[in-house]
Amino acid sequence: MNWGADLEVQPEEAALRLTQQPRPRLIDCRELDEWHLCRIEGAELVPLSIFAEQAPRRLLETEGDILVYCHHGMRSLHAVQWLRRQGYAGARSLAGGIEAWSLRVDATVPRY
């Protein structure tokens, strides 16, 4: 199920997609210290600081949907732009990041 050509997806749409099959890969591109503060359940950590090195090893399939998030949505947008250039057409950034997720989808995810 493709999200369309947009680089970003709103938190509510992302939450819905994460309940459907096939489930998008959920990638947290924040740094390890941020990961320890909070994260969205089911996420895999691939920090932006090593993204270009690690993503090709971790994301072997260019097909399928990938949802990338960070704190506010800027780093994940950079990661998605990089992924798109590498052929990952289904990559999307979570608009507003984990902050928006906490405010609009899951208030149990701590804000920082």
**38 assigned to active site:** no
Domains of the chain listed by start with CATH number: 8-104 (3.40.250.10)
pLDDT band of residue 4 (cuts 50, 70, 90) is low
Under the banding of pLDDT at 50, 70 and 90, the label for residue 2 is low
pLDDT digits (tens, 9 = 90+) for 14-48: 999 999 999 999 999 999 999 999 999 999 999 99
User: Which residue among the candidates 14, 70, 95, 100 is catalytic per the annotation?
Assistant: 70
Q: Residue 60 has what pLDDT?
A: 85
Residue ranges of E strands in the chain: 8-9, 25-28, 44-45, 66-69, 91-94
